[in-house]
Chains A and B, each alone.
Chain A
Amino acid sequence: MTSFLRPRPALTSLAWPLAALALLVLFNLLFTPGFFNIELRDARLFGTPIDILNHASKVAIVAVGMTLVIATGGVDLSVGAVVAIAGAIAAMLATRTQAPFPLVVLAALAAGGVAGLCNGVLVTRLRLQPIVATLVLMVAGRGVAQLITDGLIITFEHRELSSLANTSFALLPIPAWIAIALALATGLLTRRTAAGMFLEAVGDNDRACRYAGVNDRAIKLAAYAFCGGCAGLAGLVECSYIKAADANNAGLFLELDVILAVVIGGTSLSGGRFSISGSLAGAVLIQTLTKTMYMHDVSADVAPLPKAIAVLAVCVLQSPVVKDRVSAAFSRGRP
């Protein structure tokens, strides 16, 4: 057994996405003219890297919540639909009522939390597989969002709501700060308390957890509710960014990018191991990859193809089969 000689899991999980990111940055340095041009206008930075950060933050915000759900051995397919619901509620409150801004924020977060709670109840009480339980909301959620907006795209001129995603603080766009703050807070909450250990234990073996006196259901429920809340926050950012709520397209296929970001970041899909910093790196990696392809005239429609190949390659390299082969090849030379 040489397991104690291996680097800490957090480091190995960050190594892959960071190495891939470094490769991408190097590629852009050599072959993409103007990729690193950043200019300062009105105390706000403009340029491709800032653009990437702005868009990656939406994925990153949801990825933080998704990381915890996947850590418990589950998955949440409904985040895209929840983004649409939260955006619809925020836009309706901002246009149809005189609700103060904090209430709008709170309502969007609460809507996400309630949606996540529903998923959690289906998983823990009805004992549905997570893919199935969250599939229900994924199918029905977009319908609910359209029910709220009455099938219309709700545009708004709300000052605070539209400035949320369109202003900068200390040079970085606000969504990036939200993502960083959320990740830091979640990291502290899980790694400096026993919560992270419980999450990993439940993901590793929920039955053993129950026998050991850990309330595995409550932990799963909390993870799904938290993930829903994160999706609500992302919904707020998304509708603020485009100054409208579009129930059809808000957060469409977001769940794919988010799950891929989490998996690339080294969180095990079978549960029991997670890395929030890895998920952040994964989100930035995916957005950089997307942006690089756009700048090389790959159309937005074709972009999924190389993305799929890249993601599959990372997953194959991280798969236990390949890892065992590699470590076997390394240990063969030793006595």
Chain B
Amino acid sequence: MIRVARRYVPILTTLALVVATFVAGSLAYPNFASAGVVRNLLVDNAFLAVAAVGATFVILSGAIDLSVGSVMAFTSILIARLIEHHAVHPLAAIALSLLAGAVFGLAQGLIIDLFKLPPFLVTLAGMFFARGAAFLIHPQSIGIKHPFVANVLNDQLSLRLPFGERGVSIPITVDIAIVTIALAAVVLRSTRFGRSVHAVGDDESSALLMGLNIRATRLGVFTLSGLCSALAGIVFTLYQQSGDPAACKGFELDAIAAVVIGGTLLRGGIGSVLGTALGVLLLGLIQTIITFQGDLSSWWTRIAVGLLVLAFVALQGQLSKRDE
């Protein structure tokens, strides 16, 4: 029983921190505990949540994907260019960019698997590749003015909740994030693929001896990561209503930070998507508080995130040391 409890220490810590940060914010600033702030917290971090879900799979399998931010930028400029310059229907553009992301992820997985190269090196090259490709599609950002995106996707499909005087509308981007998190949680917990990801990340040789198909698992993980990056790029594009080849530089680090703060072990094997979602919330809350404070520069966010990652990694190190 104690063993089980220890497993949940990181995620419970994150939960406690999320609650504590929110309470502290509410006490320190008037208007902090309002539906509007919570809504913005969700809206501003929807694409981080989607990207972090992909990163959770990769990190659980014991690998790392550094191409996330570049693939997001590639997706966003691809969609914008297709819609605005080639008169492609937004839904078709979205489907095409999802396919592109999945193929890109699969290609990275294949190179890693076939040539036994370290994931961080291959995805580092992938990060360069996707960033260059994004600028090749179009060197500047393109605003999306297609009526379908503004009216249907961003307006009609958003949820209206009866909070406050005028109500709160939850845009489709938040729904996408929540559905992604829920689906990923089910896949990780209750499918053969999800269990293989855990097993491969925990101990690759044991997984091999158990007869698991390690190659298929690894390819699946990287394909899924590419798919999630593309989806995050789509959410980002809907959020910004424009495509930008220079967007999301270094975003993979935020995604990895959210995963680590969410209690996933960086050497793989242990972790959860729900933890990652909490990690995203915590990062968002810190950002919100720094905005509310007003006189703190945004670089304090970087320092806070760095220290949080360090604290969580140290905590995990202590926990796994006691396990040995």
Contacts and interface: CB of A to CB of B under 8 A. Distances in A.
Interface in B267-324: 267, 297, 299-303, 305-307, 309-310, 313-314, 317, 321
Contacts of B313: 126, 128, 132-133, 136
Contacts of A308: 125-129, 132
Contacts of B64: 131
Contacts of B305: 139-140
A47 interface: no
B266 interface: yes
Interface in A124-165: 126-129, 131-133, 135-144, 146-147, 151
Contacts of A129: 266-267
Contacts of B297: 146, 151
A303 B133 CA distance: 9
Interface string A236-274: 000000000000000000001001100100000110000
A315 interface: yes
A321 B111 contact: no
Contacts of B245: 301
Nearest to B316: A128
B46 to A, nearest CB: 21
A312 B125 contact: yes
B298 to A, nearest CB: 9
A170 interface: no
Nearest to A145: B299
Interface residues on A, range: 35 or more
A143 B290 CA distance: 14
A311 B122 CA distance: 9
Given A302-B135, A308-B132, A311-B125, A136 B309 contact: yes
Interface in A296-333: 299, 301-309, 311-312, 315-316, 319-322
A305 B132 contact: yes
B84 to A, nearest CB: 19
Interface string A166-195: 000000000000000000000000000000
Contacts of B321: 127
B86 interface: no
B306 A304 contact: no
A321 B306 contact: no
A146 B299 contact: yes
Binding site secondary structure of chain A? helix
Contacts of A132: 260, 266, 309, 313
Contact of B133 (A127, A143, A305): A305
Interface string B50-93: 00000000000000100000000000000000000000000000
Contacts of A142: 299, 302
A322 B115 contact: yes
A128 B312 CA distance: 11
A143 B306 contact: yes
A302 B134 CA distance: 8
Nearest to B256: A135
Contact of A315 (B117, B246, B299): B117
A315 B139 contact: no
A263 B120 CA distance: 13
A269 B120 CA distance: 10
A296 B131 CA distance: 19
B124 interface: yes
B253 A138 contact: yes
A265 B228 CA distance: 34
B121 interface: yes
Contact of A147 (B121, B253, B256, B303): B303
A303 to B, nearest CB: 7
25 contacts: A126-B313, A128-B313, A128-B314, A129-B266, A136-B309, A139-B309, A140-B307, A143-B300, A143-B301, A143-B303, A143-B306, A147-B303, A151-B299, A263-B121, A299-B139, A301-B132, A301-B245, A302-B136, A305-B133, A307-B132, A308-B125, A315-B117, A315-B122, A316-B115, A319-B117
Interface of A: 75, 122, 126-129, 131-133, 135-144, 146-147, 151, 256, 259-260, 263, 269-270, 299, 301-309, 311-312, 315-316, 319-322
Given A146-B299, A316-B115, 10 more contacts: A132-B313, A136-B313, A139-B257, A140-B307, A146-B297, A302-B135, A305-B129, A308-B127, A312-B111, A315-B125
Interface of B: 64, 111, 114-118, 120-122, 124-129, 131-133, 135-136, 139, 245-246, 253, 256-257, 260, 266-267, 297, 299-303, 305-307, 309-310, 313-314, 317, 321
- Nearest first, the 4 A-B pairs at minimum CB distance are A140-B306, A305-B132, A143-B302, A308-B128
